[in-house]
Structure 1
Amino acid sequence: MNGGPSGFNNAPVTRAFIIASALFTVFFGIQGRSSKLGLSYLDIFGNLQHWKLIVSVFAFSSTPELMFGLYLLYYFRVFERQIGSNKYSVFILFSVIVSLLFEILALALLKDPAVNLVTSGPYGLIFASFVPFFFDIPVSTWFRVVGVRFSDKSFIYLAGLQLLLSSWKRSILPGLCGILAGSLYRLNVFYIRKAKFPEIVTSLLSRISWPTMGRSPSAAPRNIVGNMPSYAGRQAERNYPSSMPSATEPSEDSISTLVSMGFDRSSARQALVQARNDVNVATNILLEAQSH
C-alpha cells in the first residue's frame, strides 16, 4: 500500500517538514546530542530549557526512529493531497501544539525529575495522522499470512507500533498525546477543520522546500480524459459516459475515496465528472489514463 503517486507531487508542506526533520536529526546526531533532546520535568519546570520544545518537534533521537518516522510522514502525505496544503498546514500546527501541551501536562502531573519521559521527534504529528488513517483510508486488499488475516493497511499500523514502542514509555507518551490531538482535530474542536492560513504561508513552504526527483508539485496532474493522448481519449469516450453538466459537481465523498486510493485530487474530480459520479467507472478512467 502506498500514499499515492510517488514523490512529493502536490505535497510541498510534507516535503518541507520531512527535510526539516531529517536535517535536525542529522545535525544533532553529528554533535552526539540526539539522546539528550527528550523533554523532561526539569527541562520545562526546572532548567527552563525551552529551546527543546522546538527542537523536539523535528529531531528524532535515533536512526531507527528516524527511518520509521520519515516513512510514516512520507506515507501520510496522502492527507495533504486530500485536504490541500493550506488545511494540512493547519493540521500540522494543531497536532504539534496540542500534543506538546498534553506532553507538558503529563510531565507536570508525573513530576519525575530524574528521567526523560518524552522522546524527541514529530510523534505528535505522526500519531495524530493515524486518526484520519483509521477512519478515512479504506482497505483495498486482504491477505493471509500463516492463517492470520492482514490488510494492506497493516504495514502502516506495524510501522506505527514499532515507532510507538521504540523507546518504551518515552515514546508511548508522545504517541498517545498525538492520538489525542488527532482525535480533537477530527471532532472539529473550535471548528479547527475549517481554519486556513493566508495562502502566502503555504506558498512560502512550497518555495523553500528542496526540489524532488521527477515532477514538481506544480506539475500538471496525471493525464485523464481531456488531457490524455487522442487515442486514449477517444477510447475512453467510447467506453464511458460523456461528462455531466458543468453545474453539477462530484460529491466530496467520491473525490475523497479516489484520493485515498492515491489519485491526484484534480484528476479524481475530472474523472468523476466524466463518469457521472460513478466511483468505479472513474477508477477505470484513471487507471486507463495511467496505462497510456
Structure 2
Amino acid sequence: MNRPSQINNMGFYKTPVCKALMFIIGIPSLILNFTPKLQRYFVYSFSDVTNPLKIWKLLSSKLVFLDVTDLVCGLIILYYFRIFERRAGSRKFSSYILAMVILCTSLEVTFLFMFKFAGYDRISWQPGFQSVLMSLFVKYYLDIPRTGTTQVLGVPFSRKTLTYFMGLQIVFSEPMNAIFALCGIFMGILHRCNVFGIQQWFTIPQSVAEFFSSTLGPVFRSNPPQPLTQPMGATQEIQRQQRLELLEQQMLLAQAQGFMNQNHQRPLFRRRQAFRRRNTHNSEQNQPQAEAASSQFDTDNENQAQQHPLAPQPPEDKIVQLTDMGFSRSEVLDALSVTDNDVSMATNLLLHE
C-alpha cells in the first residue's frame, strides 16, 4: 500500500457553505455582544410569533449567539462538522441546513405555545444556531468513528470527546438551551430515519445551487490543501494530532483497497480510468482510432467482467451525491460499480486514485 502524502487538512476546501456560515454567524454575534441594545431584534416571544410584522425574528434569532462562550464553542463545532459538507457535497449539505432551520424552528414555536398555555407568557426565546448544531450531532455520533482513544482514570476519551464537551457547554449555558438542543436532536433523528420521506421535503434546486455557486462561490471557495513542507508540530500534542490524522487517512485508504482487492475489481477500475483518459485524447485527434480502441477495450475485459460481474446500475441519488463533490459522472459510475454501490467506499477510492 502506498503511503498517502501527508497534507494539511486544516481549512475549508470543498466546504464553502460552512465557511459562509462561520462569517454569517460569527460577525453579527460579535457585534451584538458589544451592542446589547440591538439584541432585542434577535429574540422573539409569543406576541412576536402572532404578529405578522415581526415574524422575521424567527429567522434572525437563528443567525447569532448572544453568549460569547456559546459563540466560540459553536464556531469550533461548526468547523469540525465541515466534514459532512465534504462527504455529502455543498448542495446536499445546504438542503440539510435549510431543513433543520425550518423544522427546528417549527418545533421551538410549538414549545413556545405550550409554555403560553401553561401560563408562562413572558418568555423571550433566543434559540440561535444551537438546534441546528445539535441535529448534526446525530450524524457525528453515528457516522464518525472514534479514533485515538485513551484512558484517563479508567474513563475512555477519544478525539470526539472534546466536541461532545463543547456541545454540553452550549446546552447547559442557559436553562432554555436544553429545549433547543432536544428539538435539534429530535429533528436530526427524524431526518436520519427519513420519517414521512422528510429528506425529500427540502431540496435546493440545482439551478439555485448553480446560481449561488457562480455568485458567492468565488468569495467563499478555498484552495486545495497543500502538502506539508515543514516538519511535524513542535509540541507533542500537535505531533499526536497530526499522526492521528495521517493514521485515519491510511485506514480509509486501506479499507477501500481491501474492498477492491477482495472483489478483484481494482485492476479493471484502473484500466477503465486509463482508457477513458487515453480515449478522450484520441477522440480529439482521430475519431476512427478512438472507436477501435473502445472496441478493443471491451473485448479485452469481457472475460474479466463475466468472471467478476459488476454491481447493478447505481441509484441516481448516489450518483448525484458524488458528482456534487466535484467528480465527473464517468468516474462516479466506475467507482460505484466496483464498490457494489457503496458511497463511502466509492468516495475513498475516488479521493485516492
TM-score, length-scaled by structure 2: 0.59
Which of residues 97, 112, 122 in structure 1 aligns to 2:129? 122
Q: Figure out how many residues of one structure are paired with residues of the other and give that number.
A: 250
Separation in 1, partners of 2:211, 2:9: 23
Structure 2 CA distance for aligned equivalents of residues 91 and 214 of structure 1? 22
The amino acid across from 1:127 in the alignment is M
Q: Unpaired segments of 5 or more residues in structure 1?
A: 221-235, 257-263
- 1:72 aligned onto 2:80: no
The one-character-per-residue Cα deviations of 1:161-207 (angstroms, maximum 9, x if unpaired) are 1111121x221111111111111111213423346322232334444
- The structure having more radius of gyration, on CA atoms, is 2
Whole-Å separation in 1 of the counterparts to 2:58 and 2:32: 15
Give the Cα separation in 2 of the matches to 1:34 and 1:142: 44
Structure with higher RCO (Cα < 8 A, 6+ apart): 1
Matching residue's letter, 2:178? I
Alignment of 1:111-150 (within 5 A): 111=116, 112-116=120-124, 118-150=125-157
CA distance in 2 between counterparts of 1:205 and 1:66 reads: 26
Instruction: Quote the offset at 1:81 in angstroms.
Output: 1.3
Q: Retained in 2: the 8 A contact 1:69–1:126?
A: yes
- Relative distance call for 1:103 and 1:188 in structure 2 (3 A) is same
Distance 2:28 2:133 in 1: 17
SS at match of 1:124: helix
**Structure 1 segment 3-42 matched on structure 2, within 5 A:** 5-33=9-37, 35-36=39-40, 37-42=42-47
Question: For 1:10, what is the secondary structure of its paired residue?
Answer: coil
CA distance in 2, matches of 1:67, 1:34: 20
Ranges in structure 2 where 5+ consecutive residues have no aligned partner? 1-7, 227-256, 273-304, 319-324
Worse-matched range after superposition: 95-104 or 171-180: 171-180
Query: Shift in Å at residue 212 of structure 1?
Result: 5.8
1:97 is displaced (CA, Å) by: 0.6
Distance 1:102 1:286, change over 3 A: closer
Match of 2:223 among 215, 219, 222: 215
Partner of 1:97: 102
8 Å contact kept, 1:131–1:179: yes
Whole-angstrom distance in 1 between the partners of 2:35 and 2:52: 21
Indicate which of 166, 172, 191 corresponds to 1:159.
Answer: 166
User: Which secondary structure does the structure 1 equivalent of 2:61 belong to?
Assistant: helix
- Give the TM-score, by structure 1 length: 0.70
Q: 1:198 aligns with which of 196, 199, 205?
A: 205
Q: Which moved more, 1:124-133 or 1:44-53?
A: 44-53
Residue equivalent to 1:109: 114
The alpha-carbon deviation at position 34 of structure 1 amounts to 6.0
1:42·1:48 contact (CA, 8 Å) conserved in 2? no
Change (3 A) 1:212 1:71: same
Local SS of the residue matching 2:151: strand
What is the one-letter code of the residue matched to 2:182?
A: L
d(CA) in 1 for partners of 2:127 and 2:197?
Answer: 29
Mapped partners of 2:53, 2:26: distance in 1: 26
Query: Please, which of 156, 176, 199 is the counterpart of residue 182 of structure 2?
Result: 176
| Contact map agreement 2:132 2:184 (CA 8 A) in 1 | yes
RMSD (CA atoms): 4.0
